[in-house]
A and B are shown apart, each in its own frame.
Chain A
Amino acid sequence: MIEVEREHRIVRSRLSLWDLIAEAVAGMLARPGRTLLTILGTVLGVAALVATLGLAKTAGNQIVTRFDALAATSVSVSNRSDGFFRSPSLDDVSVIPWDAEARLTRLNGVVAAGSLTLVDTGGELVSSVPINDPLGQSEFAMDVLAVSPGLFDAVIAELRTGRFFDTGHDLRQEPVAILGPGAAARLNINRVDQQPAIFIGDTTLAVIGILDDVALEPGLLEAIIIPNGTARSLFGTGAPAEVHIRTEIGAAYLIGEQAPIALNPNDPSQLRVQVPPEPRAVRSGVESDVNTLFLVLGGVSLLVGAIGIANVTLVSVLERVGEIGLRRAVGAARRHIASQFLVESAAMGFVGGIIGASAGVLVIVAVSANKQWTPVLDAQVPLLAPLAGALVGLVAGLYPSWRASTLEPVEALRGGT
């Protein structure tokens, strides 16, 4: 006969979330040195991931900044019907006006602009002496380029010696020339203080400057450069072939749309515009390359970190058998034991994530400072990193906490402490 007196009610054991966290944190802080060693793997993994993401972003941004400085600010306009560097003949009339430079520099966002035209000299050779020297070559076939004064600034040309010609030379149609360094070397001219003369066929020109280098349009390096006005009067050049524009950073696309209208309002579509590639495409391309490699490395170190946590948590479960037995005796259910160890390992992962994210950010800043880059990092990366660490800890704690929960209290109490 079963007779049960229900004067007592069984009060179901419970462990509130707050108590669970408090017990887990206390367990974690019980041996801080050991906890730090345990989370070292996670710290390294998270740091590697954060540093990878940040450095990829930083480097990608850096490459784009370099493009900005040169190509991304350069726009060129040429005739659609026209080949590059081909002077328009009578039946193939250029629509670019001679005052292209003045029209373009009025646009907001243009830093410098200038026209560039290959001059048709009728096959005349160039020499620096008026006589034929039978012992050596003194006459050369060279490109003669007619440019407007602003072009030197537009292509970032630097002088080795002498000066650039200016609007005055252009308007007065003076017979002056600037030599590219290659042309100067072939003509054996390296000083301009005496204004040495060169001869294009029968035409005499005074050299007033020699270029050192140009950042864009390397065709100038081997050429003889004369003012537009001079080309028109001496060689009958019809119209500019192309225009080079240097813009403010970020203004290239706008100028690319405005320049044809400014140059040929009647029919802008006759002009062909070249603008730099979309920088976003460059950025994401670089990022994905760098990311894949280092994300794999970061993932591997995170895995190693997880194994580390799993290992130490398992050891700690075996060490704390007595504590587990005691907790079971004072009313902790299996799920309470499991959740305590689970939260403990997740908390270790979380702390590892915080430390790792901080270390990763420090690495990004240090590398950037060293390379004089601007550190760039998605704001959510350092925020998500501790969560990733907690997830790693949680997964790592699954097996040890399951082991802890399956311990029989009688067995556990037999173990020491």
Chain B
Amino acid sequence: MSNLVELEGVSRTFPGSPPVEAVRGADLAVADGDYVTIAGPSGSGKSTLLHILGCLDTPTSGKYRLLGFDVGDLSDGQRTSLRGSEIGFVFQAFHLLAYRSVVENVMTGLVYNRTPRRVRRERAIEALERVGLGHRLDFTPRQLSGGERQRVAIARAIAPNPSLLLCDEPTGNLDSKTTRSILDLFDELRTDGLTLMIITHEERVSLRGERRIEITDGVLVEASA
């Protein structure tokens, strides 16, 4: 079986004067069930790499294969569909809908990927119980702490049973105690067989990964395990 994620000489250049090469010749293979952390200072190209991995952006050169699909060959619509069913996103800013309840926020992750309407609520509650928020279903995000908000976002990301969970600075807005509990949650998800890729600039986060990759000025270097 091939790898879940395969990068072959992937580069991403942003036009300008001079052009900015955010990612240079990246090679990376991630197998099903891996727990990968990608660490680097700000401006090192982490976010660009995550956008490429998440099919939100396409490489200017090189090849990116996800689940065997050559993402560069896919149309915008196909990449959108792939995101909706195969990738879960967790962002630093949570991106919760402020006026919708917790369970409705999680259900947003199931609206576009053909999950039948009658099972959505059930699956959302399941996901919320998995992140330990089964008792907060009808709260609004405003009533939750930062850690709880991030748990809601994680529940939304895992509710559609994605192949890959992509986290962009998931603990960037959290204190150290909350960070620890979120990282423990990632460990649990990892144990359940989910493939995790976490982008961070915090060492205590990157150290929790099984595979640690450093990115500096767009170049990936895998730390020896």
Assess the B81–A12 pair: CB atoms within 8 A. yes
Q: Which 6 pairs from chain A and chain B are nearest by CB?
A: A331-B84, A30-B99, A5-B68, A331-B112, A326-B95, A8-B67
Assess the B112–A13 pair: CB atoms within 8 A. yes
Whether B57 sits at the interface, judged by CB under 8 Å, is: yes
Assess the B77–A333 pair: CB atoms within 8 A. yes
Can you give 29 A-B contacts (C-beta < 8 A)? Answer: A6-B68, A8-B67, A11-B84, A12-B77, A12-B114, A13-B85, A14-B114, A23-B111, A30-B97, A30-B98, A30-B100, A322-B95, A326-B89, A326-B91, A326-B108, A327-B112, A329-B83, A329-B87, A329-B89, A330-B84, A330-B112, A330-B113, A330-B160, A331-B80, A331-B83, A333-B80, A410-B57, A417-B93, A417-B95
Given A31-B99, A326-B95, A417-B98, are A332 and B70 also a contact pair (CB < 8 Å)? no
Question: Count the B residues whose beta carbon is within 8 Å of the partner chain — how many?
Answer: 41
Whether B54 sits at the interface, judged by CB under 8 Å, is: yes
Known: A11-B81, A11-B114; 14 extra A-B contacts, CB below 8 A, are: A7-B67, A8-B163, A12-B114, A13-B81, A13-B113, A13-B114, A16-B117, A26-B104, A329-B95, A330-B112, A331-B80, A331-B84, A413-B91, A413-B95
Name the distance in Å between B73's Cβ and chain A's nearest Cβ.
8
Whether A265 sits at the interface, judged by CB under 8 Å, is: no
Closest B residue to A11 by beta carbon equals B85
Inter-chain contact total with CB atoms closer than 8 Å: 115
Closest B residue to A26 by beta carbon equals B100
Give the CA-CA distance A383 to B93 in the complex, in Å. 45
Whether B109 sits at the interface, judged by CB under 8 Å, is: yes
Closest B residue to A416 by beta carbon equals B93
| Segment 24-39 of B: residues with Cβ below 8 Å from A | none
| Segment 122-174 of B: residues with Cβ below 8 Å from A | 156, 160, 163
Assess the B89–A330 pair: CB atoms within 8 A. yes
Assess the A327–B68 pair: CB atoms within 8 A. no
Give the CA-CA distance A30 to B89 in the complex, in Å. 24
Closest A residue to B54 by beta carbon equals A329
Assess the B84–A4 pair: CB atoms within 8 A. no
